[in-house]
Amino acid sequence: MHKKRSRLFEELILKSWWTIVFFLITLFAFDQASARRSREEILLRDKVASLTQKKHEAIELQDELEQIIASQNDPAWIELVLMKELGLVPEGNTKILIITPQATGRQPTRSENY
């Protein structure tokens, strides 16, 4: 029985050592590839989430711009743009302009403080 066990050991382990080494190397390579794939999958999922967010922001901007383009023939919108961009006021209204030191970019003089 002892001789049979020794012969089995000799046949399976000693003569087939290259098979066991090949199996271990293959297992190690598979494990490394699996770990790398998992890391890449996480990175790609993050990228997809980021791109999806950017897409939603771009769609919102596009909708806003389409509304602006569509409303360009509206007199109320034209009046609003003239008031905002050019500082014009409608007839019958009075424009009040308050100048602060922050707006002019300079410090007030002594006579302007009083």
pTM over 0.75, yes/no: no
The residue-averaged pLDDT of 103-113 equals 55
The residue-averaged pLDDT of 91-99 equals 79
Q: How far apart are CA 29 and CA 38, in angstroms?
A: 14
Cα dihedral 68, 70, 76, 81 sign:
positive
Token couple for 11: 């046949």
Hey, what amino acid is at 31? D
Statement: residue 5 has pLDDT above 70: no
Statement: residue 66 has pLDDT above 60: yes
For residue range 13-36, what is the model confidence (pLDDT) as tens digits? 777 788 888 999 999 999 999 999
Q: Are 64 and 56 in contact (CB under 8 A)?
A: no
